[in-house]
Amino acid sequence: MRKHVSLTTSIFIMMILGMAAGYVASDLMVQLKFVGDIFLRLIQMSIVLLVMGSVVEAIASLDLHSLGRLGTKAFFGFSITTVAAATIGLILANILTPGAGISYGQDLTTNVKGSDATLASIITNFFPKNIVQSIADGNTIQVIVFALFLGVAINIVMERTQSKELLHLVRVGNECLLTIVRLVMKLAPVGIFSLLGWAIGKYGFAVILPLFKFLGAMAIGAAAILTAGITMASLYARVSPFALAHKVLNMGIVAFTTTSSAVTLPVKMADSENKIGISRRVSRLINPLGMTLNSDGLALYLALACITVAQFFGIELSIGQQVTIVVMATLATLGTVVVPGGGLVALAIVLPAVGLPIEGVALLAGIDWFSGMFRTVLNVIDDVMVALIIAVSEGEFHREIFDHEMVPAASAAVANYTLQSASLSPARKPASPL
C-alpha cells in the first residue's frame, strides 16, 4: 500500500528541489516563473468571496441573545489579544529586520508606493461605498466590514423568520469555495517549486537567510505574548503564573506537535475544566468560539510576514501602511480559513491588501509548517487565558480545582486519543494552524 504524503511534506520536498533547480538551471527556472504566477492567481481567484463567506458564516452562526455578557466579554478579549499580537509582530519585524540586508532590485517594487494618507482617511477607507466595486477591486478590508454587517443581518432575519435557510445557503457556498481552494492547494508543491526556483535562479541562496531570522522572530514573539498573557491572567485570577503555565503545558505540547487548533480542542477543554478550574459553561462556549474567531498566532505571523516581505524586497512602508497591516492582520483572523496551507492562504489575502508582492507567499511557504507550530500554541493558550479571565469575572472560576488539580482519567484519555488520531489517521483532514 502506497504511503500517503502530506501536503506539508510535498511542499517541503518541492521547496528543496526548486532551490536545487534554481541553482543548477537558473535561466530555465527564471523562464518558468509563469507556472508559479498561475498558481498565485488561482489562490487569489476566489479569496475575496471566501473571506466574505467565512466571516458571514461565523457571525451568522452565533446566537447573539444567548451569548449575552459572555459573548461581549469574549469579543473584547479576543480583539485585545489579537490586536496586541499583530502589534508585537509589527514591532519585532521593525526591530529584528528579518528581511533586511539583501538587495533584490526593483522589478517587484515598481507598483508599490508609499501613502501620505492621514489616519482619519485610512479608517474611512475601511468602509465600502459599493460592495460590488470593493469585491472587484479586491479590497479585503471593505469586504470584511460588509461581511460583519451581513452576518449580523442574517442572524436577525433568521431569528425573525425562525428559518436557517439563509445560513445553510451561506455554508453551502462556503463549502464550494473551500473546495476550490483545496483543489488549488494541491498544486502548491508545483507552484512553490517554480517560484523558489525562480528566486534562487535570480537572486541566489541569499534569499534563505531571512527565513531563519523570520522563525527566530516568530519564536521570540510567541514567547513574549505567552509570558504576558499568562502573567496577566494569573494576576487577575490571583494564582501562581508558574502553576498556570504548568497546567497549560499539556495542551501546548499537543498544539505544537499537531499544529492544529481543532485537534487540540478536546484536550484544551478538558484541561481548562479539570486542571485550571474554568466552569463548564464558560469553557464550552469560549474555547470553541476562540478556535473560530481568535487566532493570535496568525495575527502575529501575518504582521511579521508583511514587514519581512517588505524588507525582503526593499519596500519602504509608511506609518499609515503599517497601521493598515495591523488592522488587516487582525481582521484576517475572523472566520479562519480552515484548509491545508491555510496560513499561506491568509497571507495571500493580506499581502495584496497592503500593496505588497504576493511572491512573498512562496518565500515563506517552505517554513509554514514550522511557523505553524508557534501559531497554534499561541492560538490555543491565549484562548484559555481569555476563558480564565472571563470565568473569574463571572464568578465561575473553581479555585479548589486549580489548587488541587483534580484531573480525572478522562482528561488523559482524551489527550491520548487525540494524539493517536492525529498521527494514525491518514483520512483526517489537515486542519490549518491559524
Residues 361-375 have pLDDT tens digits of 877 877 777 788 899
Give 241-300 as a DSSP string.
HHHHHHHTHHHHHHHHHH--HHHHHHHHHHHIIIII-B-HHHHHHHHHHHHHH--HHHHH
Give the pLDDT confidence score for residue 2 in this predicted structure: 55
Residue 85 pLDDT class (50, 70, 90 cuts): very high
Type of residue numbered 52: M
| CB-based contact 232:103 (threshold 8 Å) | no
- The distance from CA 388 to its chain's CA centroid, rounded to whole angstroms, is 22
Non-local CB neighbours of 209 within 8 Å, separated by 6+ positions: 101, 102
Residues 199-248 have pLDDT tens digits of 788 777 766 777 888 989 999 999 999 999 999 999 999 999 999 999 99
Residues 286-303 have pLDDT tens digits of 887 777 677 899 999 999
Q: Evaluate if residue 411 carries a pLDDT over 80.
A: no
Centre a 10 Å sphere on the Cβ of residue 425 and count the other Cβ atoms it contains: 9
Residue 430 pLDDT class (50, 70, 90 cuts): very low
The Cα-based distances of 121 to 65, 125, 138, 349 in angstroms read: 34, 6, 19, 22
Query: Any idea of the CA torsion for 311, 314, 320, 323, to the nearest 10 degrees?
Result: -10
Looking from the CA of 31 toward its CB, the CA atoms found within 13 Å total: 4
Residue closest to 196 by CA, chosen among 368, 432, 374, 430: 368
84: left (phi over 0), alpha (psi -120 to 50) or beta: alpha
For residues 93 and 364, what is the distance between their CA atoms, to the nearest angstrom?
15
**Global pTM value:** 0.68
Query: Any idea of the CA torsion for 103, 108, 109, 110, to the nearest 10 degrees?
Result: 130
Residue 87 pLDDT class (50, 70, 90 cuts): very high
Alpha helices in 61-206 (DSSP H): 64-96, 119-124, 131-137, 140-161, 165-185, 188-203
Type of residue numbered 312: F
Q: How many DSSP H helices and E strands does the chain contain?
A: 22, 0
Residue 187 pLDDT class (50, 70, 90 cuts): confident
- Three-state secondary structure call for residue 397: strand
Residues 318-343 have pLDDT tens digits of 888 888 889 888 877 765 544 445 67
> Which segment of 18-32, 260-274, 375-389 scores lowest on mean pLDDT?
260-274
